[in-house]
Structure 1
Amino acid sequence: MPSQRPHGAVHPGIRWGRFTLRIPGIHVDLTPSTQLQGGLLLLATGGATAPLLMQYFGVSFEIAWTVMLVMFFWVFAQTFLFGDVYSAGGIAAGLPLTIIFLNDFSPGPEAIRAMIAVTLVVSFLFLFFGITRLGERFNRLVPATLKAGIIMGAAVAAFQSELDRLESMPLTLVTAWVVVLALMFSTPFARLPNSRLKMLVGANALLVAFMAAGVVGLISGELRFDIQWGLFVPPLRETLDTLAPWSVGLPSWGVIVSALPIGVMIYVLAFGDLLVADTLLKGADKARGDEKLDIDHTRSHYVLAIRNLAQLVTAGPLVMLHGPIWTGVQVFLIERYKQGRHVMDSLFTGTTNFYLLAIPLGLLIPVLGLIMPMLPVALSVTLVLTGFACAYVAMAMVQGNIERGLVLTIGMLTAVMGPAWGIGAGILLYFLMLGRGGEQAAEPVAEEDVTESLESESTYPSEEARA
């Protein structure tokens, strides 16, 4: 049943300081279909970084999966515990940059301390810009060409990492790439009539890609599934003994200083995610006057700092840091939300239910038997989608051949030489080739225009089409 919310009011909950607790089943309706779809999708895509934890931190699958389960809790906490309106996720565009950074450290304690340094730097930036409220001003100070170069660096690094992985399971990975890119970015597919089948397939593009890759991998022998009964018992104590800062030690000041460039890059990407989310929510506000969507960037900064620091002390660092938005899920839920209160009472109904079942499902051994062989595929799809989206967003942010050339140059330097080289050489090249105010003539594409391309990925019909 819809909640008793006055028309045009913020969705009710329990206020505590700047945050709001909304308890599933009390403040937010329960929708089992959303729970099942969201839980499986979060396990497959969110758990995709488990192989990276095993590779760089030198830990077992059991420890890596425990870290993922704790991550799912703090992702869920953004909605139900802190009351932020965004569909929480990771800073996906920062993942390729993090991989570049970790490649300079030996797997094991050295890489763990390096990732702790990145987490501390990014968390400090969230806190600093949240307290001072200077985030928007800092974001405006960074020229669009430099921001686009950072994003292009993530794109190049993402594709670079997947070329190395392709040799191990070519048929499976190519199948997953083709299916997910065709469903999410294909112009012919988008032009098809908005039938129920198209809605179903497009809204579950990642799951469809995983299923297709699973079938091809099983037939080709590139994948093997081992389904067993039982429950997974997370080794929390062993995880903390292996990954917690007090177990491996804090990073040296030298490592923290080396993490500053990538920390700044990741913060710029995260703030860009906030702006994208705000633009998406403007469309939801126009369609639904019955609920006020409470957007508070200061609160969001605090939440992101808390989530990353809490992850660090409850299970150790992540390779992909906690971020404000899972763009694909945000678009999917907003488009359903736009259809009216009879479809989704509140936007919190969608975000809360989407994340609710991830941890319970992740404790079932049969589910793990299906997911474990697919984790490399999920990671590959995540990075390819990140690379593809980052590439076209980066190019859409600038106009003119000089700016586009700079974007690619900064991106290549970042991916090949590292974040410090990307920022340093990027700033130098920017002033040498464009000078101060050089972008004014270029008239870069507005944030809203970039976000429209993200909204167009949704397979739900537009307001005009529904009319």
Structure 2
Amino acid sequence: MRFALPEFLQGICVAGATGLALVPVMTASFGLSFEEAVTMAMFHTMLISAGWMIFGDPLAPGWLTPALPFIFAFVLGGGNTPEEQFQLMTALSLNFAALLIFLGITGLGAKLVAWVPNVLKGGIILGAAVAAFLRIFDQNDAASALNSTPIAAISALALCMFLTFSKPFQRQAAKMPILAKIAGLGLLPAFVVAGVVGLVTGEMQFNIQSGLLDVPTHATSMWEKASPLNIGWPSVTMFLNALPLAFITYILFFGDVVTGNEMIKNSQPMRPDEKLDVNGNRTHMATGIRNAAMAVVAPFFGTQGVLWTGIQVIVLKRWVTGRDKMDSIFDGISAYYVYGFPVLFIVLPIVTMLQPLLPIALAVTLLLTGFACATLALTTVTDSTERGAMVLTAIAFSLFDPWTGLLAGLATILVVVGPGVFTAKKEAADAADKATAEAAVAKDL
């Protein structure tokens, strides 16, 4: 965990702000104060850093971002009070943890995902895109950036889309290194533009405070509101209702595992001096343990994933240039996460300066995730009938509860496409896994 300046600077600017992106949702919909929500985000960052710090995975971990729209719809729609909503978060996390640990021990993960046909995978991924767009443009959502800061939010969203997906910009960036560097800053340019526009239009007021966050006090009050040790454990019904969403999330998780392993496999020949230990079963176990710990300490499902693909790309690019640039891959990963200890979240001047921008950070994350998932889903199947079934499945996933969405999707596929789609040759399933893996490169930022 040696000091790596480029990754350290990017981590402070990008990883810190992104790690706080869920704070507006926690305060608007889950009954936490701003300080309690920041404290919960700090625990999420500490747990996610355990992926490389404790378990030794050579991967830059991230959120299960495409699952977030499903999670919001399920938890906010299924819980009548903040206590019930946090119990649902706990049920989701423990279900997912049990699934990961079981599949990690038995090695059945690859077989499970191979059984899922392309049309169902595409429906899940496209459903995540639709749910993300619905969340962004929900006029009844008090935490929505488009409702509170519409001009600043639209400016940030447009800039992020332009820097990330615009083909004319990408062609110019290939010719002009300065444009490539701007695009490489991720969400930072959008934050800067949003802050300037917000100040000029009067949509944002910055109340920068001095001092440090009183972590013990706010952690205690946060646990009293959220931890199952205080508010009670989820009911059996909650666990059963959360099962389909745990399965859906696993499909997204598996794509990230495949992507991360392939990225390391392709980079390893350029750095034979450091042999990276890639172990899929360990990744399952480590992520499962992190989700189980989160369920008790800071229950907010979706924050303990396995790969932040954009950061993995950044770290690997400098790692492959030689030992003189980056001695170990863990130097770059740990520096980007500010060494696993989010001191940034404790410094009130920084946190309160970012506070007005956090709803925009969430909106940008959802928009980029939705766009990338939509483009991926439309490439998973080529048959027009399967595409129609995929769209209907996606609508079911985005509008209904997980059980209803899953059953409706399966029924649609069986009736329209036929049961033979579940017994396709393994080669087709492998191609689906590859497509899912390639998707993560576009969707994770």
Structure 2 length as normaliser, TM-score?
Answer: 0.91
- Does the CA-based 8 Å contact 1:40-1:361 persist in structure 2? no
Deviates more, 1:50-59 or 1:209-218: 50-59
Measured against aligned partners, the alpha-carbon deviations of 1:18-57 in whole angstroms (never above 9, x if no partner) come to xxxxxx3xxxx21133113113312211211112222332
- The 5 A counterparts of 1:16-95 are 24=1, 29-95=2-68
Aligned residue in 2 for 1:429: 412
Give the match's secondary structure for 1:276. Answer: helix
Partner of 2:186: 205
Query: 1:401 is matched with which residue: 384, 404, 410?
Result: 384
**Partners in 1 of 2:432 and 2:112 — Cα distance?**
17
Paired position in structure 2 for 1:125: 99
Q: What displacement does 1:447 show?
A: 4.6
Unpaired runs of 5+ residues, structure 2, are 139-143
SS of residue in 2 equivalent to 1:48? coil
Q: 1:335 Cα deviation (Å)?
A: 2.4
Is 1:172 aligned to residue 181 of structure 2? no
TM-superposed CA distance for 1:67, in Å, is 0.5
1:293 and 1:91 map into 2 onto residues whose CA distance is 23
Residues 255 and 433, structure 2, Cα contact 8 Å, conserved in 1: no
Which residue does 2:276 correspond to in 1?
293
Q: Distance in 1 between matches of 2:435 and 2:254?
A: 17
Aligned partners of 2:376 and 2:326: how far apart in 1?
30
Q: Counterpart of 1:181?
A: 161
* Cα 1:319–1:448 shift into 2, 3 Å: closer
For residues 353-399 of structure 1, the C-alpha deviation after alignment (integer angstroms, 9 at most, x for no partner) is 11026611111111012111111011111111111111111112211
Q: What is the aligned partner in structure 2 of residue 280 from structure 1?
A: 263
| Secondary structure, aligned partner of 1:322 | coil
Deviation at 1:454, TM superposition (A): 6.1
With normalisation by structure 1, the TM-score equals 0.87
Could you say which residue in structure 1 is the equivalent of 2:69?
A: 96
What SS is found at the alignment partner of 2:337? helix
Amino acid at match of 2:186: A
Give 2:293's aligned residue.
310
Which SS does the other structure have where 2:148 is aligned?
coil
- Matched with 1:18 is none
Give, in whole Å, the separation in 2 of the partners of 1:290 and 1:403.
Answer: 47
Match of 1:417 in 2: 400
Q: Which moved more, 1:158-167 or 1:89-98?
A: 158-167
Shift of 1:450: 6.1
Residues 450-459 or 256-265, more deviating: 450-459
- Residues 331-346 of structure 1: pairs in structure 2 closer than 5 A: 331-346=313-328
Q: Give the percent of matched residue pairs that are identical in Structure 1 and Structure 2.
A: 34
Aligned position for 1:109: 83
- AA paired with 1:134? L
Equivalence for 2:141: none
Task: List alignment gaps of at least 5 residues for structure 1.
Answer: 1-23, 460-467
Tell me by how many angstroms 1:352 deviates.
Answer: 1.1
CA RMSD for the aligned pairs?
2.3
Structure 2 contact 44–303 (Cα < 8 Å) conserved: no
Partners of 2:278 and 2:103 lie apart in 1 by 16
User: For the Cα contact (< 8 Å) 2:12–2:338, is it kept in 1?
Assistant: yes
Is 1:141 matched up with 2:122? no
State which of 240, 244, 259 in structure 2 corresponds to 1:257: 240
Q: Which residue of 1 aligns with 2:338?
A: 356
Offset, 1:326: 1.0
Question: Retained in 2: the 8 A contact 1:262–1:419?
Answer: yes
**Residues 255, 429 of structure 1: alpha-carbon distance in 2 compared, 3 angstrom cutoff:** same
Contact 1:185 1:457 in 2 (8 A): no
8 Å Cα contact 2:92/2:239 also seen in 1:
yes
- AA in 1 matched with 2:158: V
Total equivalences in the alignment: 431
Using the TM superposition, give the Cα deviation of residue 191 of structure 1 relative to its aligned residue in structure 2, in angstroms. 1.5
Distance 1:255 1:141, change over 3 A: same
Task: Check whether the contact 1:398–1:443 (CA below 8 A) recurs between aligned residues.
Answer: no
Structure with the bigger percentage of helix: 2
Q: CA deviation at 1:130?
A: 0.9
Which residue pairs with 1:15 in the alignment? Answer: none
Q: Secondary structure at the match of 2:276?
A: coil
Residues 65 and 444 of structure 2 are in contact (CA less than 8 Å); yes or no, is this contact kept in structure 1? no
Letter matched to residue 174 of structure 1: I
Q: Compute the displacement of 1:241 (Å).
A: 1.8
Cα distance in 1 for partners of 2:91, 2:441 equals: 35
CA distances 1:424-459 after superposition (whole Å, capped 9, x unpaired):
111112122222344869968655466557658999
Change (3 A) 1:429 1:362: same
Q: Read off the aligned partner of 2:266 and give its amino acid letter.
A: G
What pairs with 1:315-330 in structure 2 (closer than 5 Å)? 316-330=298-312
Aligned partner of 1:17 in structure 2 is: none
Measure the CA separation in 2 of the matches of 1:319 and 1:437: 34
**d(CA) in 2 for partners of 1:457 and 1:432?**
31
Flag the 1:175–1:319 CA change in 2: closer, same or farther, 3 A.
farther
Task: Work out the CA distance in 2 between the residues paired with 1:456 and 1:167.
Answer: 27
AA of the residue aligned to 1:105 = G
CA distance in 2, matches of 1:274, 1:114: 26
8 A Cα contact 2:309 2:444, kept in partner = no
1:382 matched to which residue of 2?
A: 365
CA distance in 2, matches of 1:455, 1:248: 38
Q: Distance in 2 between matches of 1:188 and 1:52?
A: 35
Cα offset, 1:178, TM superposition: 1.2
Deviates more, 1:132-141 or 1:423-432: 423-432
Compared CA separation, residues 111 and 282, structure 1 to 2 (3 A)? same
Which one-letter code corresponds to 1:182 in the other structure? Answer: F
Letter in 1 for 2:204: L
